[in-house]
Amino acid sequence: MSEKGAIKWLAIILGVLSVYYLSFTLVHYKVQSEAEAYATDKNGNIDFAQKQHYLDSVANVTVYNLGFRSFTYEEVQKRALSLGLDLQGGMHLVLEVSPADIVKALAGARAKTGDFEKALKLAQQKQQNSQAPFGTLFAEAYKEVKPDANLARLFANPGNKELTFNSSDEEVVAYLNKEINGAVDRAFEVLRRRIDKFGVANPAIQKLPTSGRIQVELPGVDDPERAKKLLSGVAKLEFYRVYPLTDLQYALLQLRDYLKIEDKAAQAEEKNPFEESNAKQKEEVSNPFEETSDSIAQAQTDSLKAADSLQAKQVQADSTKSDSLQIKRSRFDELFVLTGYGVYVSVEDTAEVNKILRDEMVRSFFPSNLRILWAAKPEAGVDNPLAGKLELYFIETRRDGKPLLEGDVIADARPDYDENGRPSVSMSMNAEGARKWAKITRENIGQRIAIVLDNYVYTAPTVQSEITGGNSSITGNFTVEEAADLANVLKAGKLPAPVRIVEEAVVGPSLGKESIRQGILSIVLGFILVLAFMAVYYGSSGWVANFALFINLLFIFGVLAPLGAVLTLPGIAGIVLTIGMAVDANVLIYERIREELKHGLPLVGAIEKGYTKALSSIIDANVTTFLTGLILYIFGSGPVQGFAIILLIGIVCSVFSSVFVSRLVVEYLAGDGKKPRINFITTFTRKVSEWLDSQNFDFIANRKKAYIFSSVVIVLGIVATLIMGGFNLGVDFKGGRSYVVEFDKAVSTQEVRAALAPVFENKAPEVKLFGANNRLKITTSYLIDDASDAADNTVREALEKGLNQFSEMNPKVLSSSKVGATIADDIRSTSQVAVVFSLIVIFLYILLRFRQWQYSLGAVVALFHDAFVVLSAYQLANLLGFSLEIDQVFIAAILTIIGYSINDTVVIFDRIREYRTEFGSMPLGVLLNKAINQTLSRTIITALTTFLVVFVLLLFGGEVLRGFAFALVVGVIFGTYSSVFIAAPIVYDFTKKNATKKAVDNA
């Protein structure tokens, strides 16, 4: 190896850099431990706010000094290897910008037509089963609703220079899709700015390719609801004039009369609800707004027409009439509390009031330019008679339906405190906004101006005087965090359209710590088992392989840190798997060296030839595995991508350490071959090798028995599937909400399921044990088609209500996840594409390397065989009572098995190709048997080492990876089996068939 000098220096440099970058990770977690110790009370409970306070306090403090450079904690944190949400707890979200809202906004007033609304609903239905852009789907839907329509007339307007009334439908579709994509980009930037100010360590946000969705990960977040509110709020800030109640007296009297109900116990005399209330509520507002005692007197009462006044009196008179047998009263008095200042409703009555206000008759009572909005938060205060009630605001819009002023004039926003020391938000406007705001306040002195954010009124003080300079403030019943979030949202800007959360996962920190413990245990035990086996089987050369394995792990962790990669639980599984697969290259090399030693070559020559001959097989085997890992990375998401990254890095590092680093050590220990300090065979190895050489199995003659055995296994899987009524799909394939709940003691899954069925409207959830008899995983499809926050809260409240029956067991939700129906369809379809695409890529690669389609066919048939056998094993395990889900992680396991199995197959094919060159005249069946037998030792050893580590993963990897590890255990066994009994025999059958056909054709 003439390049050994360069290889040596490269290895040294990589090793030093790996240690350098890993040192930041060690310092980072040392500071984290100190923060936890600071925030832990006497009972062992961690106050996460205190922990974050400690970390914030040391952010700019030097915590790491290397002599030539010192680093603050903030700098250390940026260079450290981050843990994923499943290892430290936190929140994972996938948000989708609503394309329907964007299309509606582009259409303007034309969006209110019946045909438009029908087309929009139809396009949303099409979206659930299509990957086409939404603009294209809407155009198709509109043509179905109105075949002769001109799309340009929907979207062309004077403010849009890109379209005219003569634009073609194709131009309109291109315009819609461009605007929707642009909205996703703008939403991404707005969300990124919001997250940057959220105060979470190492947040991550990325656009998911092709889907138009945005993925957000917030490690360590301890207030998921606050995070969801921050991210999903549109931040549409608007300023409106509030209708004085005196202007709406007649409308409210009509509503009161409309809501009359019969009640024998009611009193005959009814009071006018517009009399001055003793419970009159005065709102505390911050400067420059100031409430005055005579604000009601300043209202414009002359707006009622004379006829309206007469009719109002008649309605009022009618309402006081009594019947001696049946007295009438109004539901209005039970729902609404009127003060001289506003209208209030109890929080529990808001649903009923909303229903009433949506009634077309009720809407006709009010002016056409009136909107009805709720306050953002209920009234508070111990002595406040309106505590727990929400104010109902009657908002006046301009003739075009727009507000007096919009929030795009806000230049800056910051959290502040009002004159009473309560949290508030101070705003400053740009020049144009300041000018408009001065005009608005000048023209509305004595009137209330509502400050509305995302259709909720945060405050509505009365204007005392003209406000110049563009400075104002928002007050309300804020906490410090709410004021900071509101300022953050206003400063970051508004989203171009509402976003909805289509996928969500919340992992508690306790579950994350358990995952870390299980992951580290899996790595350590797997590592020890491989070290022990290699030392026993290969002697001193086995220790060289172990050294290469250690270097491989160092390189993997060293590369992950500077890349900014995140270590997840599937990533740990990837490391465990890499440990098993990394020895494969060394096994290939050592087996080749032993063959050359058997042929009489001296040690130095055998080492040279062994490395040279093994290189082709090593490259082919690892390229195919790398390709499947790359496909997994492209089509996967979240933790699956984390696994793929580890696998890809592990393959590259293992080839470098096993082929190049180990060769440096082997050649150094071999010296000139006269007094070597290395050996490749032990007494145990010699006995195993002699036994294998004496057997000379006839695999080709027994191929049909193998075909029958495989067919039986697959048929049993099909039967199990029929008995079970289908596959046990995970939540990310079928959609739904899933919760991991822990109890203080063992609990019956049937009892929990029965308790939850009524609260989920008799849609009984799936309840199963999750790693322990006191921990359950509860999955439900209840309200899954509703992606709103309200639906999330409804399902969570229903869960807690159902679990109240087990309150003595102290149930605690450790983690939760949600996958919407649309994204579940997308995940399922991309997973199928990933598997099919990987098989196509492997077929083409094998064809390129071996130049015969029979080899490609044999490889792909063997891979299909492996996938079906693993699927059958899953179904049989489920039939026997083990709960294994088919989800994204299962697809990751299938693709990993494909990569592993093709690795074995390529090694055998490589030996077949070599023997066909060397023994061309040998009968094909004899040649194939010779190639398989010659590589059998390598096949068994590689399978055994990989099996050891994945079996450890199955035993100790935890419930999250249970299905993944089970699939790998089955896959390793049958992947090895298929390489020997399926792939090579298929090559034999179709080569013979092709030769027979040619002979017939030539006859």
In angstroms, what CA-CA distances link 984 with 711, 859, 906, 972?
17, 8, 10, 17
Among all chains, which residue has been given the structure tokens 């240690």? Answer: 19
Position 393 pLDDT exceeds 90: yes
pLDDT at position 187 is 77
Q: Find which of 120-134, 269-283, 413-427, 705-719 is predicted with most confidence, using mean pLDDT.
A: 705-719
Give the confidence band of 709 by pLDDT, cuts at 50, 70, 90: very high
Q: Which helix (DSSP H) or strand (DSSP E) does residue 429 occupy?
A: strand 423-429
508-671+684-723+826-997 — its CATH code? 1.20.1640.10
Contact 205, 195 (CB under 8 A): yes
- What is the secondary structure of 701-735 as a DSSP string? TTHHHHHHHHHHHHHHHHHHHHHHTS--B-HHHH-
Position 210 pLDDT exceeds 60: no
Q: What is the rounded (10 degree) CA torsion for 46, 50, 52, 54? A: -110
**Residues shown for the chain:** 1003
Cα separation, 575 vs 567, whole angstroms: 10
Position 654 pLDDT exceeds 50: yes
Three-state DSSP class for residue 858: helix
Section 171-178 average pLDDT = 86
Least confident of 56-70, 76-90, 640-654, 737-751: 76-90
Contact 964, 893 (CB under 8 A): yes
- Residue 137, token pair as written in the block: 């789907």
pLDDT at position 373 is 92
Parallel, antiparallel, or unpaired for β 82-83 and 566-567? parallel
Give the confidence band of 306 by pLDDT, cuts at 50, 70, 90: very low
Instruction: Record the pTM.
Output: 0.63
Q: Facing residues of 370 across strands? A: 396
What architecture (CATH level 2) is domain 237-491? 2-Layer Sandwich (3.30)
pLDDT at position 714 is 93
- Residue 780, token pair as written in the block: 């439900």
Contact 697, 745 (CB under 8 A): no
Position 712 pLDDT exceeds 90: yes
Written in H, E and C, the secondary structure of 141-183 is HHHHHCCCCCCHHHHCCCCCCCCCCCCCHHHHHHHHHHHHHHH
Position 281 pLDDT exceeds 70: no
Q: Facing residues of 242 across strands? A: 395
Omega cis (within 30) before 676: no
**Beta carbons within 8 Å of 437's beta carbon, 6+ residues apart:** 239, 405, 409, 429, 467, 470, 472
Residue 677 CB coordination number (10 Å) = 9
Residue type, 535: A
pLDDT at position 315 is 40
Q: Facing residues of 736 across strands? A: 819
pLDDT at position 305 is 36
Calculate helix-pair angle for 962-978, 853-879, nearest 10 degrees: 140
Among all chains, which residue has been given the structure tokens 């190049």? Answer: 660
Percentage of the chain beyond pLDDT 70 is 83
- What is the secondary structure of 47-81 as a DSSP string? -HHHHHHHHHHTTTSEEEE-SS-EEEHHHHHHHSP
Give the confidence band of 366 by pLDDT, cuts at 50, 70, 90: very high
Q: In what order do the strands lie in the sheet with 812-819?
A: 204-208, 213-219, 90-97, 499-507, 812-819, 736-742, 775-780, 766-769
Contact 927, 919 (CB under 8 A): yes
- What is the secondary structure of 372-417 as a DSSP string? EEEESS----TT-TTTTEEEEEEEEP-TTS--SEEGGGEEEEEEEE
pLDDT at position 974 is 92
pLDDT (tens digit per residue) in 477-532: 777 777 776 776 666 566 666 777 777 777 766 666 666 777 778 878 888 888 88
**Beta carbons within 8 Å of 374's beta carbon, 6+ residues apart:** 350, 390, 391, 392, 393, 456, 457
Contact 61, 470 (CB under 8 A): no
Three-state DSSP class for residue 44: coil
Cα separation, 692 vs 700, whole angstroms: 17
Position 275 pLDDT exceeds 70: no
Cα separation, 72 vs 56, whole angstroms: 11
pLDDT (tens digit per residue) in 813-833: 887 777 766 556 666 677 777
Q: Facing residues of 330 across strands? A: 260
pLDDT (tens digit per residue) in 735-788: 778 888 888 888 888 888 888 888 887 677 878 777 677 888 888 878 877 666
- Per-domain boundaries in the chain: 4-80, 96-202, 237-491, 508-671+684-723+826-997, 736-819
pLDDT (tens digit per residue) in 415-466: 888 777 888 888 888 888 888 889 998 998 888 888 887 788 888 888 888 8
- What is the secondary structure of 634-701 as a DSSP string? HH--THHHHHHHHHHHHHHHHHIIIIIIHHHHHHHHHTTSSS-S--S--HHHHHHHHHHHHH---TTT
Contact 537, 692 (CB under 8 A): no
| φ and ψ of 352, to 5 deg | -65, -40
* Top-confidence residue, 93 or 869: 869
- Residue 592, token pair as written in the block: 């080749």
What architecture (CATH level 2) is domain 736-819? 2-Layer Sandwich (3.30)
